Amino acid sequence: MRRKAKTKSLSFTKVLELIGKPAFFLFTIVVVSLATFLQLIKFPSLKLPNPKPRKRKASVWRTFLKRNSWLQAKKGSPAGDRRVLMGTLLVFIFIFFAFNIYYFILRDLPSITLLTDSPPSLSTKIYDRSGELLYQIYKDENRSLIKLDQLPKYLKDATLATEDKNFYHHFGVDPLGIIRATF
C-alpha cells in the first residue's frame, strides 16, 4: 500500500491560532493609530455646496475647547503642528511598547490548547484480580482525581475563607482584593 504524503496546509483558522490574540491586538492598535493619523492629515477634496446649513448642537468637546482656549491651535500654526507631531510620536511610542511587550513577554507563553490538553501527573495504582489495591506508585506527589462532590464541605469553605472571604458577596472580581494583592 502506498502512503499518501500529508500536505501541510494552513487554513485561515490555523493562521489565526498561530498569530494569537496579542498579535491581533497589536494589529488592531496599528490600524486604529494609522486611521487616526490619516484623519489628522488634510487631503484635497471637492467642495460640494451645502444646500442648507444645519444648526449643530454644541458638543462637549467644542464646549471644552471654548472654555480652554489655550488648547485650541489655529490651522497652520506652529502649536498645531507640534500637537500633531507629539500625537504621532506618542502613537509610535505606544506601538513600540506594545510590540516589545508581545515580543519579549507574550510570544514565549505556551499555547492555550497545550494548557488544557496536558494530563495531570497521577499516581500509578496496581490492582489484583479481585480489584483490591496492591500498590500505589508516585514520585513526588500522591495525586488521584476525585469529583468535586466527594470533597467535604468544610474543605471547600476553608479554601474560600483563605482565598477570598467575600466570594459570595461580590460580582466575580474583588477590586479591594486586587489592590491588597498588589501591595
User: What is the full per-residue pLDDT of the chain (183 aa) written as tens digits?
Assistant: 445 544 455 666 666 666 676 677 778 888 888 877 777 666 556 566 666 666 666 677 677 766 666 556 565 566 666 777 888 889 999 999 988 888 888 877 877 777 777 777 778 888 899 989 898 887 887 788 889 899 999 999 899 888 888 888 888 888 888 888 888
Looking at the structure, tell me whether residues 25 and 99 fall in a common domain.
yes
Last residue of a domain, one of 73, 98, 113: 113
Looking at the structure, tell me whether residues 123 and 166 fall in a common domain.
yes
Q: Residue 107 is part of which domain span?
A: 12-42+60-113
Whether residue 50 lies inside any domain: the answer is no
Give how many domains the chain has, as a whole number.
Answer: 2
| Spatial contact of 25 and 97, defined as CB atoms under 8 Å apart | no
Nearest-angstrom CA–CA distance, 27 and 99: 10
Whether residue 107 lies inside any domain: the answer is yes
Whether residue 154 lies inside any domain: the answer is yes
Residues 6 or more apart in contact with residue 98 via CB below 8 angstroms: 25, 26, 29
Looking at the structure, tell me whether residues 64 and 88 fall in a common domain.
yes
All cell numbers assigned to 9: 496546509
Looking at the structure, tell me whether residues 18 and 105 fall in a common domain.
yes
Residues 6 or more apart in contact with residue 83 via CB below 8 angstroms: 73
In tens, the pLDDT along 132-168 reads 989 888 788 778 888 989 999 999 989 988 888 888 8
Give the residue among 108, 106, 105, 99 at the shortest CA–CA distance from 27.
Answer: 99
pLDDT value of position 70 = 55
Whether residue 166 lies inside any domain: the answer is yes
Residues in the chain: 183
Give pTM, 2 decimals: 0.31
pLDDT value of position 80 = 63
Whether residue 3 lies inside any domain: the answer is no
| Spatial contact of 106 and 34, defined as CB atoms under 8 Å apart | no
Looking at the structure, tell me whether residues 23 and 93 fall in a common domain.
yes
Whether residue 146 lies inside any domain: the answer is yes
pLDDT value of position 179 = 86
Angle among Cα 76, 56, 41 to the nearest 5 degrees reads: 30
Last residue of a domain, one of 113, 140, 155: 113
Looking at the structure, tell me whether residues 107 and 125 fall in a common domain.
no
Nearest-angstrom CA–CA distance, 41 and 15: 34
Looking at the structure, tell me whether residues 24 and 107 fall in a common domain.
yes
